[in-house]
Amino acid sequence: MAPTTRSDVALTQWQQVFEHLDRLRQGVATDSAFCAMARTQQDLIGALPARYATVLSDLLDRLESSALFTEESCSFSRKDLLESLQMWLDKARQQLPG
């Protein structure tokens, strides 16, 4: 059995964030649980260019803030934030080997 590389771990963490985002869209997961989980994926974040960490942190901060509103706000559209997180994931995947 081949040893697990940091690249393998980063891909696994990417998959976990991807799946958790899907559960968030379905209403099965909460915004706070998603944000907490995404922030702990350090191998994924470390495998990407530094700007990815900055963008992810900003998106997660905005998602957590949007949870304070019961309706769509012009500043914090939850739908737009989820789409931006999906775009982040798509671009992050392109940066990862394999």
pTM over 0.85: yes
**pLDDT value, residue 1:** 43
Q: What is the pLDDT of residue 70?
A: 58
pLDDT of amino acid 31? 94
- Report the pLDDT value the prediction gives residue 3, as an integer from 0 to 100: 44
Spell out the residues 6+ positions from residue 56 whose beta carbon is closer than 8 angstroms to its own. Answer: 38, 45, 88
Report the alpha-carbon distance of residue 56 to residue 12 in Å, rounded. Answer: 17
Q: What contacts 94, CB < 8 A, 6 or more positions away?
A: none
pLDDT, averaged in runs of 10, over the chain (98 residues)? 73 97 96 96 96 97 81 68 97 93
pLDDT of residue 21: 98
